[in-house]
Chain A
Amino acid sequence: MIELENVSYGYGGGELLTEMSLKLAPGSFHFLTGPSGAGKTTFLKLLYAELLPSAGRVTVFDQSVRGLGRDEIAELRRRIGVVHQDCQFLDHLSVAENVALPLLVADRPIDTRELVELLGWVGLKGQMDALPPELSGGERQRAALARAVIMGPDVILADEPTGNVDWEMSQRLLHLLVELNRMGKTVVIATHDMNLIRSAKAQVAARVLRIKGRRLHLAGADL
């Protein structure tokens, strides 16, 4: 589904990620961990083509990202739901409009009943007309998750989705992501919260990847 072959990424003269190789199988669940500044966000950006590797090859849905045109990259992103660390909302639109944004830009019809149902699934039915700045950290993360799944993507990438929320809320978000994985979605969660990873182990068969010393390692035994 997504494959990295000897991928390196660097900017400003230095190399942040070095010779990383990985295959994300359909329906798999991965955690990506590592210290702050290790390159977890950069790694995720390589997966949804916001960045291009400086060396190596990233293949997404059997297409090499490097050879894709701008419209093809846009199409690819419609199949990958991303929960950004800072949520990336349009602050002048309501929560419901933000969640429906991927449908709007893809010129697909917006089914209000389904939209309300989705907001209910993430527990935001009561806040659908609110503006993003009016939401709490946990509510923002759940709204971002709803937006990430509204197109029915094959892959969901979440960048520190529990970074600004309390333990109870992080468990709730984790539960939603596990539910999505059970529906067949491939899930990658970047986090430095080891407790979250341990609690997930009880619910889902997850592989843990660690970025250390600019390289990607398979972790797990030490958890």
Chain B
Amino acid sequence: MNAQLARARAFLTSDLQSDRVVPPSGFTARLTVFSAAAMAFLAVFALALSFAAGRLADRWSDALAQSATIRVSAPEDQQERQVQAVLAVLETTPGIASARELPADETQALLAPWFGPDLPIETLPIPALIEVVEEGTGFDPEGLRLRLQAEAPGAVLDDHDRWRRPLVAAAGRMRLVAVASLVLIGAATAAMITLAAQAALAANGQVIRVLRLVGAHDRYIAQAFVRRFTLRAAGGAAAGTALAALMLALVPSVETGSFLTGLGFQGGEWLWLPLLPVLGGAVALAATRAAALRALKGLM
């Protein structure tokens, strides 16, 4: 462990003399820093999208999973009897914490967005609504449906499953898209850094040949390039991450539960951001090392 730490420290603080062996390369340096910054910027948004989609899925799932509604539509003379029968059935159903019939004013409030506040619901054949709150483990919807059919034929159970399932699936799919974007961003970063490293290696073919001729090991030559590209990529990624984080922090935070206003990081999610420059550096390290060793193989 100590040896690995010492190697990591030596990699980061390698003496300038060995760095000078490879001449500075302006174009590839700028290309690497810019690519890493742009990719980290995009990665922050993909990460934010992933977290936002996850939160949305959880919210939709939680909000709808703990409740159900029973609608009772029966002839006027049977309505009250069937409502009472449903409430009696619910009292003896395991997994139900509470159940209540929505009073007329709440039913009216529910319909107000469509019919206005002055709807005379007493005169209309509107079904009775019973709100059911589940206990932690939930109830058996199929068993309850069978019992309701026997006791109150006009009662229909809506456990919100048909609403909840596509919403949660959509949010999950969105999260998958975000994760796939992150993977693609990582691969594109690796490809760009590989190209930049190959350009640098080709431009320094004579330097590499001389180093081999005077007895340099492959890892010494590779490291001169790897260190340079890793630090550039990590630096670029840090700048891109910081800029994206700043922009996300400036998105107005409104407690509407909307997807757009929820796009960002919350709590411990911010801790993922410092990892992006580290990951950028790791991708650059692996890509440059592979390119350098491949280039060296062609040289005795």
Contacts and interface: CB of A to CB of B under 8 A. Distances in A.
Contacts of A101: 21, 210-211, 214
A28 B220 CA distance: 33
B108 to A, nearest CB: 84
A94 to B, nearest CB: 10
Interface of A: 48-52, 70-71, 73-75, 77-78, 82, 84, 88-90, 92-93, 97, 101-102, 104-107, 147, 151
A82 B213 contact: yes
Nearest to A78: B215
Interface string B12-53: 000001101101000000000000000000000000000000
12 contacts: A48-B213, A71-B218, A97-B17, A101-B214, A102-B214, A104-B21, A105-B211, A105-B215, A105-B217, A106-B216, A107-B220, A147-B214
Contacts, number: 61
B20 A93 contact: yes
Given A49-B300, A104-B21, A90 B210 contact: yes
Given A49-B300, A71-B218, A88 B213 contact: yes
The SS class assigned to the B binding surface is helix
Contacts of B20: 92-93, 97
Given A70-B218, A92-B23, A104-B21, A52 B300 contact: yes
A105 B216 contact: yes
Contact of B300 (A51, A82, A147): A51
B66 to A, nearest CB: 65
A78 B209 CA distance: 15
A74 B300 CA distance: 9
Contacts of A92: 20, 23
B212 interface: yes
Given A50-B300, A88-B213, 10 more contacts: A51-B300, A73-B300, A77-B215, A92-B20, A92-B23, A93-B21, A97-B17, A102-B215, A105-B217, A107-B220
Nearest to A97: B20
Contacts of A102: 214-215
Contacts of A51: 300
B215 A151 contact: yes
B212 A74 contact: yes
Nearest to A79: B215
B14 to A, nearest CB: 11
Nearest to A100: B17
A71 B18 CA distance: 18
Central interface residue in A74, A84, A101, A106, by most chain B CB within 10 Å: A74
A75 B218 CA distance: 11
Interface in B201-251: 206-207, 209-218, 220
Central interface residue in B18, B21, B218, by most chain A CB within 10 Å: B21
A104 B21 CA distance: 9
A74 B216 contact: yes
A107 B218 CA distance: 14
A21 B51 CA distance: 72
Given A49-B300, A51-B300, A93-B20, A71 B217 contact: yes
A105 B300 contact: no
Nearest to B293: A70
Contacts of B212: 74, 77
Nearest to B209: A88
A90 B207 CA distance: 6
Given A104-B17, A104-B21, A75 B215 contact: yes
Contact of B213 (A52, A71, A75, A77): A77
Given A51-B300, A104-B18, A104-B21, A74 B210 contact: no
B11 to A, nearest CB: 14
A90 B210 CA distance: 7
B214 A105 contact: yes
A146 to B, nearest CB: 12
Contacts of A90: 21, 23, 207, 210
A147 B216 CA distance: 14
Central interface residue in B23, B296, B300, by most chain A CB within 10 Å: B300
Top 7 closest pairs, chain A to chain B, by CB: A105-B216, A78-B215, A77-B215, A92-B23, A102-B214, A88-B210, A74-B217
